[in-house]
């Protein structure tokens, strides 16, 4: 069992840290915090990533751009349009009419966030309307995150210059839903988002590989179509700058535009724009010519479903039910503004530096005074995650840099908590050590009061009833004069150790060691405390006296042990200035007990009792030794000796005592 307990102690990091020097223990707690963060991020990655994304996106919401977006207009197939035109899907003649009305309204580019997978009546009219438009792009959907195989329609308009066989892990699929082959001549772009575990769309693949060809996202196809590029080509390269993204996408058809991608070739959706910034008009109003004149002139139009029953609904940081067409509008706006959010390559280094900065502050707080560490570490545990999150928000809202914040925030919270536990454990250990050291010099209750309370300059004492025992080694001064100090110290050590064991065994406690004597205390003026004190005195005589040197140097009397016992009221407590207190026991009872102990040598009795103690022990028939005026006192006191306790020598003469014998005393 002891081996198992020892192993548990060695494996407990807090125990190990407390055994180390303070600096080493604190560094160990920081290292443990870093390890715990790594383990938690690995074990609970999905949930923690969701937490980081949701709180991280709040920077966009709090500092959102309120400038209306006038370049892009959403033509919404909303509930009002369904009620007026009819249920979805609409006929191709209606779609052709809608396309022609958009062209007449001056739209520069029509982007259909709709897939037309099957051939239907009216396709010729719809195709002719699309071909006559200034620019049109249809949607196609590579099926991602699904185990089912679906191949409907025809995927067209891949991009050259992008390899699906390289190191970049582009999204790929063997399934798709695309417009039928009759629309092969119309430009297309995919609208396949990456749906996170909480249903939110945060990233869209720049390209999706199908059958070894890279098909661009709808927003990229819009750039190709807007520039009338005949050759849809792109160039992908790694950014050499530390603060740049992992990958850079450049379009020869759109010079000067560099699009940041992550290592998997994904575009991050920006939620910088508030939803109300995007202008939306009803498709029914377009078809029936009810739009204000010029509202769509020279704009790009996104045609998509916003009616709740059509199923194209995704959650965003702004709303839990947002039309999917808004995602495409956000991608287009970011591309046109050249403000695509991205995570810089140096992000892990920056987060590590931030965590190191937090660690340095936590170390300073932990090294501070008790009050600083006690209050500073909990405050830091709350403030540092807010600092990390605020820094992330600032970079996101100002520079579209998604730095991240969760790892340093978790490290700060764990490190502050572990350091606080360590410092509190160290404080408790130090207090226990102080109490242990104090209790070896002072009574336990006094040591506890000193260890766990603030010093004071006032009298801190109380009156109490006590039974006192004073013991003294007779002739020790003469013995010490003739022997080496080491031998005297060893003798005193033996006397104090054995006396303490005996007194504590009989329910008493040592009040003080003074010179070659001691003073012990029992609580109360009771028969029980009197008997315990007497039994302790008798045990001391029996166990200590045989261990004293029996052959003193020539001319010296042998060492002996004198003990006096009395009980009564006393004042117990501490006095003196706050910077130098002393524990004391005051009162006549203390003086009388000390004088009774001194009388043991003169009366040749190893144990003498005062009147109060003798009265408690009347059944033991203590023998009266007479009444004496004790040194320094004005009232005579009768002394008693326990019955049947042999004396060690004859009694000295009364005149040698320098005492005045009063009535009742025995003369020489």
Residue 650's pLDDT band (cuts 50, 70, 90): very low
Yes or no: domain 454-657 corresponds to CATH 3.30.70.1230: yes
Q: What pLDDT was estimated at residue 554?
A: 64
Condensed to tens digits (0 to 9), the pLDDT of residues 568-592 reads 999 887 777 866 777 778 889 999 9
Look at 229 and 134; give whichever has higher pLDDT.
Answer: 134
pLDDT band at 655 (very low <50, low <70, confident <90, very high): very low
Give the Å distances, CA to CA, from 153 to 91, 178, 209, 287: 18, 5, 16, 27
pLDDT over 90 at 645, yes or no: no
Q: Is the pLDDT of residue 666 over 80?
A: no
Which pLDDT value is given to residue 447?
65
Domain coordinates in residue numbering, the chain: 17-56+346-436, 59-337, 454-657
Q: Write out pLDDT tens, residues 201-215.
A: 999 999 999 999 999
The span from the CA of 445 to the CA of 460, in Å, is 13
Residue 14 has pLDDT above 90, yes or no: no
pLDDT, residue 49, reads 94
Chain centroid offset of residue 341 CA: 31
| Helices of type H across 193-321 | 218-226, 283-287
- Other Cβ atoms less than 10 A from the Cβ of 33: the count is 24
Bigger pLDDT: 406 or 438?
A: 406
Average pLDDT, stretch 157-186? 91
Q: Count H helices, E strands: the chain?
A: 20, 27
CA atoms of 213 and 153, how far apart (whole Å)? 16
Show the tokens assigned to 304: 């998509």
pLDDT of residue 454: 66
Q: List pLDDT tens digits, range 255-295.
A: 989 999 999 999 999 999 999 999 999 999 999 999 999 99
SS3 548: coil
Task: Answer whether residue 468 shows pLDDT above 60.
Answer: yes
φ, ψ dihedrals at 111, nearest 5°:
-115, 115
Confidence of residue 563 (pLDDT cuts 50, 70, 90): very high
CB 223 within 8 A of CB 213: no
Q: Is the pLDDT of residue 167 over 80?
A: no
pLDDT at 629: 87
Question: pLDDT category, 11, cuts 50, 70, 90?
Answer: very low
Between 130 and 198, whose confidence is greater? Answer: 130
Residue 107 has pLDDT above 60, yes or no: yes
Closest CA relative to residue 305, chosen from 133, 100, 73, 82? 82
Residue 99 neighbours by CB under 8 Å, 6+ apart: 110, 126, 129, 130, 133, 136
Q: By C-alpha distance, which of 509, 498, 432 is closest to 469? A: 509
Q: What share of the chain is helix, strand, coil (3-state, %, to 5)?
A: 45, 20, 35
User: Residue 165 in contact with residue 139, Cβ under 8 Å?
Assistant: no
**Cβ-count burial 415-454 (b if 16+ within 10 Å, e if not):** bbebbbebbeebeeeeeeeebeebbeebbeebbebbbeee
- Give the tens place of pLDDT for each residue, 598-640: 999 889 899 999 999 999 999 998 999 999 988 888 889 999 9
* Range with the largest mean pLDDT of 13-27, 175-189, 596-610: 175-189
User: Residue 648 in 3-state DSSP?
Assistant: coil
Kindly report the average pLDDT of the chain as a whole number.
88
Beta strand segments in 78-135, E: 109-112
Give per-residue pLDDT as tens, 39-61.
Answer: 999 999 999 999 999 999 999 99
Q: What is the pLDDT of residue 42?
A: 94
Position 250 pLDDT exceeds 90: yes
| Predicted pLDDT of residue 20 | 77
pLDDT tier, 12 (very low <50, low <70, confident <90, very high otherwise) = low
Q: Is the pLDDT confidence value at 425 over 80? A: yes
Average pLDDT of span 381-385:
97
For residue 523, pLDDT over 90 is answered with yes
Closest CA to 255 of 218, 207, 223, 278: 223
């Amino acid at each position: 069992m002891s081996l198992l307990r020892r192993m548990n102690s060695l494996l407990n990091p807090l125990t190990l840290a407390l055994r180390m020097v303070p600096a080493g223990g604190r560094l160990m707690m920081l290292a443990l915090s870093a390890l715990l963060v790594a383990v938690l991020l690995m074990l609970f990655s999905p949930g923690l990533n969701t937490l980081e994304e949701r709180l991280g996106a709040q920077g966009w919401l709090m500092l959102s751009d309120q400038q209306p977006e006038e370049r892009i207009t959403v033509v919404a197939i909303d509930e009002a349009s369904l009620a007026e035109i009819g249920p979805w899907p609409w006929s191709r003649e209606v779609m052709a009419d809608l396309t022609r009305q958009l062209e007449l309204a001056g739209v520069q580019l029509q982007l259909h966030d709709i897939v037309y997978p099957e051939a239907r009546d009216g396709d010729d009219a719809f195709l002719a309307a699309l071909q006559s438009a200034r620019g049109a792009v249809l949607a196609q959907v590579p099926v991602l995150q699904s185990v089912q195989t679906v191949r409907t329609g025809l995927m067209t308009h891949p991009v050259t210059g992008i390899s699906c066989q390289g190191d970049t892990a582009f999204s790929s699929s063997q399934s798709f839903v695309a417009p039928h082959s009759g629309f092969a001549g119309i430009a297309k772009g995919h609208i396949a988002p990456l749906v996170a575990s909480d249903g939110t769309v945060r990233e869209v693949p720049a390209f999706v590989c199908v059958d070894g060809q890279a098909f661009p996202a709808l927003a990229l196809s819009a750039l190709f179509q807007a520039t009338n590029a005949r050759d849809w080509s792109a160039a992908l390269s790694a950014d050499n700058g530390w603060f740049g993204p992992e990958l850079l996408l450049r379009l020869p058809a759109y010079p000067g535009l560099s699009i940041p991608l992550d290592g998997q070739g994904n575009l991050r959706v920006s939620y910088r724009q508030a939803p109300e910034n995007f202008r939306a008009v009803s498709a029914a109003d377009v078809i029936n010519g009810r739009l204000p004149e010029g509202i769509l002139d020279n704009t790009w139009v996104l045609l998509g479903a916003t009616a709740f029953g059509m199923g194209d609904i995704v959650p965003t940081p702004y709303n839990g039910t947002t039309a999917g067409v808004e995602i495409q509008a956000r991608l287009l706006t970011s591309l046109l503004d050249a403000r695509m959010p991205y995570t810089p390559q140096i992000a892990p280094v920056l987060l590590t530096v931030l965590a190191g900065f937090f660690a340095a502050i936590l170390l300073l707080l932990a090294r501070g005074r008790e009050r600083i560490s006690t209050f500073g570490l909990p405050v830091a545990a709350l403030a540092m995650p807010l600092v990390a999150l605020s820094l992330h928000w600032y970079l996101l809202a100002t520079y579209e840099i998604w730095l991240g914040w969760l790892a340093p925030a978790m490290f700060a919270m764990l490190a502050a908590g572990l350091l606080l536990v360590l410092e509190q454990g160290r404080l408790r250990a130090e207090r226990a050590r102080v109490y242990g050291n104090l209790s070896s010099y002072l009574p336990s209750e006094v040591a506890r009061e000193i260890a766990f309370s603030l010093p004071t300059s006032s009298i801190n004492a109380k009156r109490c009833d006590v039974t006192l025992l004073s013991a003294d080694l007779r002739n020790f001064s003469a013995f010490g004069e003739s022997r080496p100090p080491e031998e005297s110290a060893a003798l005193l050590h033996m006397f104090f150790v054995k006396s303490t064991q005996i007194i504590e065994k009989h329910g008493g406690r040592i009040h003080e060691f003074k010179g070659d004597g001691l003073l012990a205390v029992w609580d109360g003026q009771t028969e029980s405390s009197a008997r315990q004190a007497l039994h302790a005195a008798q045990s001391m005589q029996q166990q200590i006296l045989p261990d004293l040197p029996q052959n003193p140097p020539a001319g010296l009397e042998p060492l002996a042990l004198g003990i006096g016992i009395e009980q009564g009221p006393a004042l117990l407590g501490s006095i003196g200035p706050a910077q130098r207190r002393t524990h004391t026991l005051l009162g006549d009872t203390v003086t009388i007990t000390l004088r009774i102990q001194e009388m043991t040598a003169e009366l040749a009795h190893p144990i003498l009792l005062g009147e109060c103690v003798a009265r408690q022990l009347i059944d033991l028939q203590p023998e009266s030794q007479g009444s004496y005026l004790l040194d320094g006192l004005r009232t005579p006191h009768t002394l008693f000796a326990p019955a049947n306790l042999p004396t060690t020598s004859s009694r000295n003469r009364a005149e040698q005592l320098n005492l005045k014998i009063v009535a009742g005393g025995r003369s020489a």
